[in-house]
Amino acid sequence: MKMVKVSSLLLYLGIPLVGASVALNFFLYGQLTKYYVELNQVRLDPLGLSYYKPNSNLNDKGDNKRVIIFGDSRAADWPTPQIKGYEFVNRGVGGQTSAQTSQRFDFHLGDLEPDIVVIQVGINDLKAIPLMPDERNVIIDLCRANIRQITEDAKALGATVIISTILPVGEVPLVRKPVWSDDIAQAIYEVNGYIDSLQSDKVLVFDGFSAIADEKGMIPKDFGKDELHLNAQGYTVLNEAFSEFFDTATFPNNTEIAEADNI
């Protein structure tokens, strides 16, 4: 009788454990498949050049000023700000490092005739630090150098540059903690300090980090889709801050800034 009770207890406890194990294996298989597909996509198109159709398909900007949002997935996901007199064109590509973004600049922006280039890039560099801790300083230095190169390339086109500070990260899920480190947040702080130093008459700095971060310097739960990306509410807050910044910014060459619509 006692043996039957023990067996029943083991069965009772075992079924949920088996179910959890199966669910975890399905999740891990899905993640493995996702990253394998992404790896091969990068091998086939390292710079993501095929991500956008030829720029010749764009309409003439007419009397509008053209603003390009350029960078990684945080740029790619950025909804168009509603600002009168400005045409926004997105040239963000998900998953890209600052090096990839820099190297595709001419291909994706060279003939767009931008008046303003908005840059949001860097998190995919810095999130690699826990995987290569000995390369920490090199990763940060290269990220800085690439952001500076993108800035110089945009200026060479005659555009005014708006560099957004790198947005914060959110709460990290348990499955990602083995490849995560608090050093990522510290690296964001260091690169953002460098971004601030680039401000000049042709380079403006939009503090996207402060627009989003909570008192812990993180993406608030209500604003995050995951630990790296904003959700719709987060982007609404970001666009409100960006529109206020845009409306009050002093642009070179007596450029007049139209009043921003309410988001």
% of the chain with per-residue pLDDT over 90: 66
Binned at pLDDT 50, 70 and 90, residue 60 comes out as confident
Q: Provide the 8-state DSSP code for 248.
A: H
pLDDT tens figures, 96-135? 999 999 999 999 998 899 999 999 999 999 999 999 999 9
What region does 119 belong to: left with phi over 0, alpha with psi -120 to 50, or beta?
Answer: beta
Nearest to 66 by CA among 85, 51, 92: 85
Q: Quickly list DSSP for 50-114.
A: GGS--GGGSPP-TTSEEEEEEESHHHHT-PPP-BTTEEEEEEE-TT--HHHHHHTHHHHHTTS--
First-to-last alpha carbon distance for the chain, in angstroms, is 70
**Do the beta carbons of residue 251 and residue 257 sit within 8 Å?**
yes
pLDDT tens figures, 224-234? 999 999 999 99
Question: Is residue 131 exposed (0-12), middle (13-18) or buried (19+ Cβ within 10 Å)?
Answer: exposed
- CA–CA gap between residue 105 and residue 150 (Å, rounded): 7
The pLDDT assigned to 11 comes to 58
The pLDDT assigned to 263 comes to 39
The pLDDT assigned to 61 comes to 74
Q: Given a cut of 70, is residue 158 above it in pLDDT? A: yes
**180 Cβ partners below 8 Å, 6+ apart?**
127, 130, 172
Binned at pLDDT 50, 70 and 90, residue 37 comes out as low
Domain 56-248 has CATH 1.20.1440.80: no
B/e letters for 165-182, b = 16+ CB within 10 Å, e = fewer, are bbbbbbebeeeeeeebbe
